[in-house]
């Protein structure tokens, strides 16, 4: 038994409204009142996109039960048929669920959480184990003084290529999971200025050259990022200005990051006790 698709049903179209600051749902009357004659064309385009995706997924044993199309004020879709906006179900499980009279098992996002969690743990373990190796010492020497490392016989070019290969490999693993999670990526969302700034800020704020620095920086910046986006979402680019201000303050007053600050405080406390 397959789910019936009502091609004439309107459903709910979610459009972001800057004056309100969050997604709002337009009913059928409000939608056609806003878009006029283009409303029917938009609905037909969205339904055609859904049916194309539905057919593609059905041929591969997946049922897309429902979805929503999110877009900006001009109906440019920015979230289409993703796990966040759709419900996916295995065809065999759907059939079995209908026969047994139970709810089908939907494909949720929980596996992605555990995959990324173990990837993070694995990355920290790899860096920790490499830190005490000869190659790890070469990394450290090349970072601190390129010319002095070469004078001591370190092949800095080879060291840099190895470091780039490890970094690119780990990044590609994360990017693969990211693409499978969203099912859609574009250059701005992956290589945009915002991502580049955030990637650079996290280890600097947490503690550059340390194992836990990027993790600590992420713990601090992730909630801060969400707060600034909500507080200044009507002003484009303000959260990047705040990031820049934080970067300047950290470089001037906390060159070793939060871990360096904690280390210094702990050292002074230990010195007083001693």
| Strand bridging mode 62-67 / 86-90 | antiparallel
Q: Tell me what pLDDT residue 159 has.
A: 93
Question: What mean pLDDT, rounded, does the chain reach?
Answer: 76
Window from 39-43, 71-75, 96-100, 270-274 with minimum mean pLDDT: 71-75
Rg, the chain, Cα only: 25
Enumerate the domain spans of the chain. Answer: 13-100, 109-184, 186-274
> pLDDT per residue over 49-66, tens digit each?
778 888 887 887 877 776
Helix (H) or strand (E) holding 53, with range, is helix 38-58
> Residue 191 phi/psi, 5° resolution?
-120, 15
Cα–Cα distance for residue pair 220/247, rounded to 1 Å: 13
Q: Tell me what pLDDT residue 160 has.
A: 93
Is residue 25 over pLDDT 70? no
128 vs 125, 186, 195, CA distance in Å?
Answer: 5, 33, 25
Residue that wins the pLDDT comparison between 243 and 84: 243
Is residue 127 over pLDDT 80? yes
Q: Tell me what pLDDT residue 165 has.
A: 94
For residue 45 the two structure tokens come to 């385009």
**Residue pointed to by tokens 């390129």:** 146
Q: Name the most confidently modeled range: 10-19, 23-32, 75-84, 110-119.
A: 110-119
Cα–Cα distance for residue pair 274/271, rounded to 1 Å: 5
Is residue 246 over pLDDT 70? yes
């Amino acid at each position: 038994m397959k789910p019936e698709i009502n091609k004439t049903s309107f459903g709910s179209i979610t459009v972001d409204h800057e004056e309100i600051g969050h997604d709002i749902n337009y009913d059928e009357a409000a939608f056609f009142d806003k878009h006029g004659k283009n409303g029917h064309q938009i609905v037909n385009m969205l339904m055609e996109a859904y049916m194309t995706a539905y057919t593609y997924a059905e041929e591969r044993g997946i049922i897309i039960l429902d979805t929503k199309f999110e877009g900006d004020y001009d109906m440019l879709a920015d979230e289409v048929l993703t796990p966040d906006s759709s419900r996916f179900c295995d065809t065999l499980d759907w059939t079995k669920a209908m026969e047994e009279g139970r709810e089908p098992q939907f494909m949720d996002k929980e596996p992605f959480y555990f995959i990324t969690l173990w990837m993070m743990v694995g990355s920290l373990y790899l860096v920790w184990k490499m830190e005490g190796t000869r190659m790890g010492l070469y990394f450290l020497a090349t970072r601190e003084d390129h010319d002095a490392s070469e004078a001591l016989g370190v092949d800095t070019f080879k060291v840099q290529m190895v470091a780039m290969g490890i970094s690119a490999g780990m990044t590609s693993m994360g990017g693969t999971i990211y693409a499978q999670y969203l099912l859609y990526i574009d250059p701005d969302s992956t290589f945009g200025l915002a991502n580049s700034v955030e990637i650079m800020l996290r280890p600097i704020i947490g503690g550059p050259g340390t194992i836990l620095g990027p993790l600590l920086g992420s713990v601090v910046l992730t909630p801060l990022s969400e707060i600034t986006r909500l507080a200044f979402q009507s002003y484009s680019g303000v959260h990047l200005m705040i990031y820049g201000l934080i970067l300047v303050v950290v470089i001037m007053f906390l060159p070793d990051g939060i871990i360096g600050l904690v280390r210094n405080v702990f050292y002074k406390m230990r010195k007083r006790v001693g």
